[in-house]
Amino acid sequence: MRKKYLAITLLASALAVQSIVPALASSSSSSDDNEPAYDVTVYDPNASTTVTVGENGVKTTGVGTSTSANGSSIAVVVETTTPSGTPITVNENGEAVIGNKIVGFAGGSAATAGLPTAVVDTINAINSGRTLSEVVTGVDVSGYNALTGTHAVVTKNAATGAVEDTATEVVLYVPNLVDGLGNVSILYYNNATGTWMVIPATQIDPVTKLVYATVPGSGTLSVVYKN
């Protein structure tokens, strides 16, 4: 009887260990609890990888275009250069390659995966049209208005495909951009620091609807202005 009881106990222990091991493996898959756990392949496989030429010769791809929860869209411009002269090309996946970086967007649930609840609440509030100064903390956004909804930017190492948070010049096509807007900037949640910041545009062109800026790495952006 004692042998039978011991066998049952050992079997139960083995099953318990089997159930725990996968959970431990899963929980250790992210190396940094402060960083959103992006899949390094963030582009939509169903989106077009073909370069299309829009108004005024602006070139974009479906993969490099993001539509926010409120319906506004932006895109990373390709086959051009940054203000400092860095070429922006496009790879076989339709992603923008800027120097040694790939810049793309995370969509769907990946856009907010791993972000603190308070930050997700702020993102949702921006997309619902709330006044920025009422919902954004840690930076003075008094008088600023959102020109676009939020878009999750992911910067990766072009050679390895690994997410890499380093400053990168970007050229953004912003269909909502019109002439006469003052202080056009990028409201940016920096994933690496966990803070919101306002990044002034280095250059804007209302005719071609382009906004030039340097982003610090992966994060969430909204194009804003203040008149």
Q: What is the pLDDT along the chain (227 residues), one digit of tens a residue?
A: 443 443 434 334 433 433 333 332 333 333 344 445 433 344 455 778 899 999 789 999 999 999 999 999 999 999 999 999 999 999 999 999 999 999 999 988 999 999 999 999 999 999 999 999 999 999 999 999 999 999 999 999 999 999 999 999 999 999 999 999 999 999 999 999 999 999 999 999 999 999 999 999 999 999 999 98
Both tokens of 72, joined, read: 């506004």
pTM exceeding 0.85: no
**Euclidean distance between CA atoms 153 and 85, whole angstroms:** 22
- Beta strand 96-98 with 101-106 is antiparallel
- C-alpha distances in Å from residue 78, one per residue of 3, 22, 65, 121, 144: 72, 42, 11, 32, 29
Show the tokens assigned to 35.
């960083």
Q: How far apart are CA 77 and CA 185, in angstroms?
A: 17
